[in-house]
A and B are shown apart, each in its own frame.
Chain A
Amino acid sequence: MMDFGFKLSKSATIDLDRAGTERYEKLCALSPDARTCMACGSCSATCTAASFSGMSVRKVILGLQRGQDVRPLLSACMLCGKCTLVCPRGINTRRLILNLSKSYD
């Protein structure tokens, strides 16, 4: 194929009717505070791992609600706890990340 220096990006359409949210529900059972996230993005702004894997708790929670695979995001999280400290909803994000890491089996 000819290389034009740009390409078509993958479709970013999310079909919420067909999104599998089992993992999200599973997570909420372990970390009920996940439901209180208001996607403010404070955690994204501070995340130590953001520049390595694009990590942010907000993205993880949104991704799970949409049935996406969030494992690549999580891979660089260092559990540093900055997200917990800045979260205005007081979500225990480290616990949330640990619970989520445990749930993939």
Chain B
Amino acid sequence: MIDRIPSGFHPFVLPFLAGMIFVLSYCVYGIIKILVQLPGEDRRRFYLSLVTPKTVLKNIRDIFCDCLFHVKLWKRNRLLGYMHSSIAFGWFMLIVLGHVEVILFLPHRIRLFYYPIFFNYFVAETDSTIQGSLLFFLMDFFLLVVLSGIVLAMVKRVRSRLFGMRRTARPSLTNQIGLYCLWAIFPLRLLAESFTAHISGGSFLTVPANWVFRQFLGNDLNMLPTWWAYSIVLGVFMVVLPFSRYMHIPAEMMLIPMRNAGLKIRNARKGFARVQVYSCPNCGVCIDACPMSVNKANIKDCTVYLTRQLRRGNERRITEISDKCLLCGKCQAVCQVGVDGPGIRILNRAERNYALKPDYSSIDGTAIGRASAGGRVAYYGGCMTQLVPSIGRSVTSLLEKAGIDYRWIDRDGGICCGRPMWTAGRLKEAEEIVRKNEELIRATGAVTLVVSCPICYRMFRESYHLPDIEVVHYVPYIQALIAEGKLQVEHDDICYAYHDPCELGRGCQLYEEPRQLLSQVVRLSEAEKNRAESVCCGGSLGSLSLSFAQRENMTRAALENLYHSKADAIATACPLCQATFSRYADRPVRDIAEIVDLHAKANKQNKQAI
């Protein structure tokens, strides 16, 4: 292998060089800007994580799994996974192998960073070695891998269903330019390398292609223009990259270490949230996942459009999109990069200024709490349970059957848990409510707080500080009562489909416990989409602007998902889900507490105790 061009330079590399320099400077500027925007504490945490060996290893593993192999997409749909990983990993390997070639054959050129990209133009093959042909084979092989991915990408444009996607995001102009460049880069590379293969050598792809071309072309005049075209397309791609979805390639490199450092988003427009927004490749997986997408008009409110509008800075649309969402969290659960769609929306809502501030000083938490003091266990039903009283009745009936010394602390009205206020973006006001409620609960003197609404439960877990009080959702609590023998349950043959409430499942990660408890008393069958992919009932308080009519379609779609199981009835563990489903369901909708209560008997000893 020898240098064919003594100077090691040809003007055709200039467009590539210009693009590369532009994109690198843009990224350096971006990284500095993001780091400056991070709150000091987060920044320290991030730097610390970069020198902690464990996190560093995790970062490397995640970068390979997420950015190159797209493991999450493979799990979703193999074709989709193959398409993304073949392009990403194939391209990565072409770059790596290009460097290996230069190091191996022309080590003095390694400082010219266009050399690995245009290697074949600059060299002439003098002898063939095993190493050389293996490298050339690998280069052709990975080029083929990328090309297969590109072909699939073209097919996906017209037939997205093959890839498990009903709807995809409409590409914007810069995305389109980037897309066509990406499609053109690799065929051009194949052509350029093929035209050059009789000089530089090649392998199973480029050598036969070279032979074919030479049958009817007879000269090398096509060589240079093709290398020019290849370089220009690369250059254009790099120039549009920061303004298109392909920005996700560098952004993800930043996102993964930040995520592994345990950073949380603190401002909708800055720091980590910004990195998340840029890391979204507009894959569109969140469109089909979003319960709002059953309404054609609401497709544009899905998270993929939130990230797009945040990048464009279109304030009117950002407000609209932020207010519409149910905050069910499904888009985040399916998102390959983990864009916190609901979190970013809440922080966007928090940027609004309300002239009228609530004033909770008239609420005396301690006095309300004292009024229901006395039990070791306090039961907090929450606002929604008051609207679905059967749940409160069933939970307390179970507690009684088990002989528990409890008090229903908000039976005659109490204070809201604060989550609805929090999700409306009024974070300070929500904090105030939380503080009042903490006072109230401490004043009851209970050591265990049983909660029946997952909305409250999530709030208690995430925002309350009650160090000496154990907060449990009733599902694990009743499970424990049964395990201890305080409750006896009978099994029945009726079949239930369990709906995972968003706040209990995705919000608090309780997926298996409700199923275990239910299957102790009834038969269970699964909905089409369940657990982390369960479909929101559409009744969520998270949305500030969805109308009842729009919600109806969502509820019906969620019910269809449950009907798929062919169950006789529907079980849920959230008062709001129950109230919402009951409106349109063609079969009974019951809370787990109700179902268990129907099948539970008190242990005889408990009865004597009472």
CB-CB under 8 A for A103 and B355, given A46-B387, A80-B383, A92-B547: yes
Asked if A94 and B547 sit within 8 Å, CB to CB, the answer is: no
A79 interface residue (CB < 8 Å to B): yes
A27 to B523, CA, bound (A): 51
A74 at the interface (CB under 8 A from B): yes
Highest count of chain B CB atoms <10 Å: which of A86, A90, A98, A105:
A98
Chain A residues with CB under 8 A of B383:
48, 80-82
Chain A interface secondary structure, helix, strand, loop or mixed?
helix
Q: Is the CB of A82 within 8 A of B418?
A: no
Chain B residues whose CB sits within 8 angstroms of the CB of A104 once the complex forms: 355-356
Judge if B424 is at the interface, Cβ distance under 8 Å.
yes
| Docked-complex contact B426 and A79, CB < 8 angstroms | yes
Q: Does B420 contact A (CB under 8 A)?
A: yes
A82 touches B387 (CB 8 A): yes
Binary B-proximity of A59-73 (CB < 8 A = 1, otherwise 0): 000000000000100
A37 on interface, CB distance cutoff 8 Å: no
Contacts of B424 in A (CB 8 A): 79, 94, 98
Q: Mark A1-14, 1 if CB is under 8 A from B, else 0.
A: 00000000000000
Task: Tell me if A101 and B544 are in contact (CB < 8 A).
Answer: no
Contacts A51-B413, A92-B545 given: A79-B420 contact, CB under 8 Å?
A: yes
Binds A, one of B61-69, B336-344, B359-367: B359-367
Contacts of B544 in A (CB 8 A): 92, 94-95, 98
Q: What residues of B have a CB within 8 angstroms of the CB of A103 in the complex?
A: 355
Q: Are B358 and A74 in contact (CB under 8 A)?
A: yes
Given contacts A94-B424, A98-B424, contact A75 B359 (CB under 8 A): yes
- The reply to whether B416 and A78 contact each other, CB–CB distance below 8 Å, is yes
A34 within 8 A of B: no
Does B117 interact with chain A (Cβ within 8 Å)?
no
Could you say which of B356, B384, B420 has the most chain A C-beta atoms within 10 Å of its C-beta? B356
Q: What number of B residues sit within 8 Å (CB to CB) of A?
A: 33
Say if the beta carbon of B579 comes within 8 Å of chain A. yes
Q: Which residues of A contact B413 (CB under 8 A)?
A: 48, 50-51
CB pair A71–B416 under 8 Å, yes or no, is no
**Assembled-state Cα–Cα distance A51/B359 (Å):** 14
Asked if B420 contacts A90 (CB within 8 A), the reply is no
Taken residue by residue from 410 to 441, chain B's Cβ proximity to chain A (1 for < 8 Å, 0 otherwise) reads as 00011110101100101000000100000000
Report the interface size for chain A: residues with CB under 8 A from the other chain. Answer: 30
Given contacts A48-B415, A52-B363, contact A102 B355 (CB under 8 A): yes
- A100 sits at the interface (CB 8 A): yes
**Which of B356, B426, B579 sits near A74, CB closer than 8 Å?**
B356
- The answer to whether A52 and B384 have CB atoms under 8 Å apart is no
- Kindly report which residue of chain B lies nearest to residue A85, judged by CB atoms: B387
In the complex, A77 has a CB within 8 A of chain B: yes
Given A98-B354, A98-B544, A102-B352, check contact A76 B359 (CB 8 Å): yes
Query: Counting CB contacts under 8 A, is B386 at the interface?
Result: yes
The answer to the question of B29 belonging to the interface, with a C-beta cut-off of 8 Å to chain A, is no
Contact check, A81 vs B420: say whether CB atoms are below 8 A apart: yes
- Contacting A94 at CB < 8 Å: which of B420, B433, B576? B420
Q: Is the CB of B354 within 8 A of A52?
A: no
A77 touches B358 (CB 8 A): yes
A58 CB, min distance to chain B CBs, angstroms: 17
Chain B residues whose CB sits within 8 angstroms of the CB of A52 once the complex forms: 360, 362-363
Complex formed: what's the CA distance from A75 to B360 in Å? 7
Is the C-beta of B548 less than 8 angstroms from some C-beta in chain A? yes
* B416 pairs with A85, CB closer than 8 A: no
Q: Does B541 contact A (CB under 8 A)?
A: yes
Which residues of chain B are near A80, meaning CB under 8 Å?
Answer: 383, 416, 420-421
Q: Which residue of B lies closest to A95 (CB)?
A: B544
Complex Cα spacing A26 to B362, Å: 29
Chain B residue contacts of A84, Cβ below 8 A: 541
CA distance A78 to B384 in the complex (A): 13
CA A77 – CA B359 in complex, angstroms?
9
Contact A71 B356 (CB under 8 A): yes
* Chain A residues in 8 Å Cβ range of B420: 78-81, 94
Taken together as a complex, chains A and B put the C-alpha atoms of A71 and B354 apart, in Å, by: 13
- Contact (Cβ within 8 A) B418 A78: yes
Complex contact B387–A78 (CB within 8 A): no
- Residues of A with C-beta under 8 A to B415: 48, 78
Provide the residues of chain A in CB contact with B360, threshold 8 Å.
Answer: 52, 75-76
Residue of A with least CB distance to B358? A75
Residue of A nearest to B541 (CB): A81
A90 x B416 contact (CB < 8 A): no
Q: Which residues of B contact A46 (CB under 8 A)?
A: 386-387
Bound state CA distance, A102 and B511, in angstroms? 39
Expressed in whole angstroms, the Cα–Cα distance for A29 and B169 within the complex equals 33
Residues of B within 8 A of A92 (CB): 544-545, 547
User: Residues of A contacting B362 with CB < 8 Å?
Assistant: 52-53, 75-76
Q: If A78-B415, A79-B426 touch, does A101 touch B387 (CB 8 Å cutoff)?
A: no
**Residue of A76, A81, A86, A92 most packed against chain B (CB within 10 A):** A81
Q: Give bound CA distance, A50 to B415, whole Å.
A: 11
Question: What's the nearest-Cβ distance from chain A to residue B259, in Å?
Answer: 31
Report B-chain residues with C-beta under 8 Å of the C-beta of A90.
Answer: 547-548
Contact with A along B499-535 (1 / 0, CB 8 A): 0000000000000000000000000000000000000
Task: Enumerate A24-55 residues with CB–CB distance to B below 8 Å.
Answer: 46, 48, 50-53
B539 to chain A: which residues have CB within 8 Å?
85
The answer for the CA separation of A51 and B367 in the assembled complex, in Å, is 14
Q: How far is the CB of A17 from chain B (nearest CB, A)?
A: 27
**Contact pattern, B 329-359, Cβ under 8 Å of A = 1, otherwise 0:** 0000000000000000000000011111111
Give the distance to chain B from A33, nearest Cβ to Cβ, in Å: 8
17 of the cross-chain contacts (CB-CB < 8 Å) are: A46-B387, A48-B383, A48-B414, A52-B363, A53-B362, A71-B356, A75-B358, A78-B418, A78-B433, A82-B384, A82-B386, A82-B387, A84-B541, A85-B576, A94-B420, A95-B545, A102-B352
Those 7 A-B pairs whose CB atoms lie nearest each other, nearest first: A78-B416, A80-B416, A90-B548, A105-B355, A101-B356, A104-B355, A80-B383
Given contacts A78-B421, A82-B383, A102-B353, 11 further A-B contacts (CB under 8 A): A48-B383, A76-B358, A81-B383, A81-B384, A86-B387, A95-B544, A98-B354, A101-B355, A102-B352, A102-B355, A105-B355
